[in-house]
Amino acid sequence: MSSLTLEDIARLTGVSRSTVSRVVNNHPHIREDVRKRVLDAIQQNGYHPHAAARTLASQRSSMIGLILPHSVGFFFTDPYYPHLTKGIAQACNALDYSLALFLAGTAEDEDKIFPRVARKGLLDGVIIQSGHHGDQWIIGRMVDARMPVVVCGRPFRSDNVSYIDIDNIHAAEQAVSHLIRLGRKRIATIAGPAESAVGIDRLAGYRKALVERAVAVDEALVIEGDFTEAGGFLAMQRLLPAKPDAVFAASDIMALGAMRAAREAGLRIPDDIAFVGFDDLPLASLADIQLSTMRQPVVQFGSRAVELLVDLIENGIDPPRRVIMDTELVVRDSCGLSRR
């Protein structure tokens, strides 16, 4: 039986409820012997504070929400999200917060989820994975409700909201520049969806690299993917007639699909065609030909998002803050350098 209350422990130890509360919450001004006596009683009888009562009285739930909107639900085949979640969960553990996961598989899910996250007294703040136009409304409503929010990935309207991101344009530019430097002439890209910030930004970086190095952009070499392996595979098949000799894919998983298509078409990697992906998730080195990729620190990304959010919760919201994390080009076999 563990439905003891503070009152019970107080009675058991002959002190008042207030004193027990002080002990439980580590407040000062408690005599050592009293503290010990109370702690013992708690230990012996297996007392655990009632979360809801505590939340109601203190107006703090010590719980944060992770919202993965509908637009992200599709991407759940991408290991990016589990890794991000892992980073978030770890930071929550470290900072003594609990994590509520709101995963919208469908648009209707989103409608069901919103009233729940909007409830007062459930969450102290939320992390929203974004990037899609359609996610703006959730972000907006959360901000309007004066709920501390950190967005993962640049939101489309980024005023009044704190977010954490990498410099996608710059990172993509670097990746493509590397391919140019290797002497590749017909560099294609498999971009992310045009409705997503990463899709837009990484494509912009691709174009920028070409323009700055005075390479003409051939639109036949630009194709949109959907962040799935199958999408990468299909995109590559559509790209083949344009005879690319290199591909920059906006995610590792798409790069893997593209490499599979290239191999099926009889192309040798990296001799006939080079590949650079984006993310550097463990699966990048899973393939037979290890994938060169633009590493982003996904797990730390999640952790930093939590740290930022907790800071907002505990020290106030404005002005909105933004954190840009570093990326790093990881050169492996798929672009023709560093052969074993």
Partner DNA sequence: ATATTTTGTGAGAGCGCTCTCATTATAGCA
Partner DNA sequence: TGCTATAATGAGAGCGCTCTCACAAAATAT
Residues making contact with DNA (CB under 7 A): 3, 5-7, 14-19, 21-22, 24-25, 28-31, 34, 47, 49-50, 53-54, 56-59, 120-121
Closer residue to its own copies in complex, CB, 185/338: 338
Distances (CA, A) of 322 to 172, 299, 327: 20, 18, 16
Closer residue to DNA in complex, CB, 31/339: 31
| Least gap, CB of 117 to DNA (angstroms) | 15
DSSP at 262: H
Closer residue to DNA in complex, CB, 40/328: 40
Question: From CA 91, how far away is CA 56, in angstroms rounded?
Answer: 25
How many other CB atoms are found less than 10 A from the CB of residue 316?
A: 9
Residues 6+ apart with CB under 8 A from 2: 46, 47, 48
How open is the CA angle 71-235-201, to the nearest 5 degrees? 55
| Least gap, CB of 5 to DNA (angstroms) | 3
Site membership for its own copies, residue 101 (CB under 8 A): yes
Pairing of strands 125-129, 149-152: parallel
Site membership for its own copies, residue 318 (CB under 8 A): no
Do 142 and 117 touch, CB atoms closer than 8 A? yes
Q: Residue 189 is encoded by which pair of tokens? A: 């890209």
Spell 84-97 as b/e; 16+ CB within 10 A means b.
Answer: bbebbbbbbeebeb
Closer residue to its own copies in complex, CB, 61/162: 61
| Least gap, CB of 123 to its own copies (angstroms) | 8
Radius of gyration of the chain (CA): 25
Q: Give me the sign of the Cα torsion angle 150, 278, 84, 67.
A: positive
Residue 34: name its binding partner from its own copies, DNA, none (Cβ under 5 to 8 Å by kind): DNA
Binder of its own copies out of 11, 37, 186, 260 (CB under 8 A): 260
Residue 98: name its binding partner from DNA, its own copies, none (Cβ under 5 to 8 Å by kind): its own copies
Closer residue to DNA in complex, CB, 21/300: 21
Question: From CA 6, how far away is CA 250, in angstroms rounded?
Answer: 55
Site membership for its own copies, residue 268 (CB under 8 A): no
Site membership for its own copies, residue 81 (CB under 8 A): yes
Q: Which residues bind its own copies (CB under 8 A)?
A: 1-3, 46, 48-53, 55-56, 61, 63, 66, 76-77, 79, 81-83, 85-86, 89-90, 93, 96, 98-105, 109, 112-113, 115-116, 118-122, 145-146, 229, 256-257, 260, 263-264, 282-283, 286, 288
